[in-house]
Amino acid sequence: MKTTNKKKIINDPVHGFITIPDELLFDLIEHPFLQRLRWIKQLGMTPLVYPGATHTRFQHTIGCMHLMSAAVDTLRQKGHDITDEESQAVHAAILMHDLGHGPFSHVLESALVQGVHHEDISLLFMERLNQQFKGALTMAIDIFTNRYHKHFLHQLVSSQLDMDRLDYLRRDSFYTGVSEGVISSDRIIKMLNIHNDQLAVEAKGIYSIEKFLIARRLMYWQVYLHKTALVAERMLINIFRRARYMAGQNQLPATSPHLDFFLTQKFTIDDFHQNEAVLNHFALLDDNDVMSALKTWSMHPDKILKTLCSGLINRQLLAIQIKDHSFTHEKIEKMSAKTKILLNLSDDEPVNYFVFADTISNNAYSVHDDKINILYRNNKVKDISEASDMLNLSVLGKTVSKYFLCFPKSIR
């Protein structure tokens, strides 16, 4: 009988050689639910801005697992009790945390499965996996949902200083080439400690945390909310809004059966729970389904669908203006009237697929979520917003909102 070698080493361009800690985690990585993440880009439409940013959710997941190993080792060396079973569970939790992402990551969350958050779908995948692994992932699910009695383990998976953020900031910086996002994840992990069942950072690591928060803020405005990626994402959402409308009119050619399943029906989280077929179809969706559909729809007789798809495929994007204040109704109406003439749209062809306004917002540090605690030698703890003598954390913690307007470039 042939046995499988499960002691694998993965060569990662960001972290170097990564070892898979145990056989259960190897089997988890090999599962189709995890392997699907190979075909979903981490940054959605951002490669249209930074051509190198084609890395995937799978790469990010493996990186998170590696950082989790480093964090567990650090905390054990400092005398904190983490059993082998807890270590395996917290590794499994971080491996599964992104399973609920659909094609192009966050982009289609509001268009393909409206009102269903990716974390809810991740939990459904975890429960399905737990059945297949005969209950071996129960503790991992408890950690993910913060039901496990050691709450710091949940914070390693989901908090303002979790392994998810430590990996994606460094990885996204690497692949985009945006050096402002470079953080010292290794040093931050070495400075981790636990105080009253809460994750904390030793005081000598405070400058690394300050840099981490600044990097997060800069990466949001330079990468995650870059105006070109933003307009491409909104075009993709509008494409699916139009495709769903055309499907309702029985005027949409078939694409992949899994994509058609979601275009022709609307599902709530209850549907995901009650009908196994919904999750089964979602598990077979990735970026390739969307790209295939865009190519098919770029030849569709519907003017709106054809124009949007062709524009996105060929990077002929809408123009975008971003301001600190809202755009006037008069300006939007004027842009809409010009666009209607330019594209020769009939009264039955809504212009708001091409002219639309909305807002974006970001804060680098939330004072309402799990705080980043700084631990001093006298065993006192301060929130980073109080401990920092350099950063104005009231600014970093403030939600910054900006307004944007999209319209065809030829009507500038």
Contact between residue 97 and residue 196 where contact means Cβ atoms under 8 Å apart: no
Distance between CA atoms of residues 89 and 21, nearest Å? 11
Identity of residue 351:
V
Position 154, amino acid: H
Q: Which of the residues in the chain have pLDDT under 70?
A: 1-3, 390-396
Q: How many CA atoms lie within 13 A of 211 on its CB side?
A: 15
Residues pairing with 321 in the sheet: 405
Q: Which residues of 228-244 are buried (b: 16+ CB within 10 A; e: fewer)?
A: ebbbbbbbbbbbbbbbb
388 contacts: CB under 8 Å, gap ≥ 6 = 206, 209, 210
The pLDDT assigned to 1 comes to 45
The pLDDT value recorded for residue 179 is: 92
d(CA 210, CA 198): 19
Question: For position 209, what pLDDT does the model report?
Answer: 93
Q: Strand order in 356-362's β-sheet?
A: 319-323, 400-407, 356-362
Q: What is the largest CA-CA distance in the chain?
A: 75
- Structural domains of the chain, with CATH: 9-225+371-400 (1.10.3210.10), 227-272+284-360+405-411 (1.20.1250.30)
Are 16 and 70 contacting, i.e. CB atoms less than 8 angstroms apart? Answer: no
The model scores a pTM over 0.85 = yes
Residue 25 zone, left/alpha/beta (φ > 0; ψ -120 to 50; rest): alpha
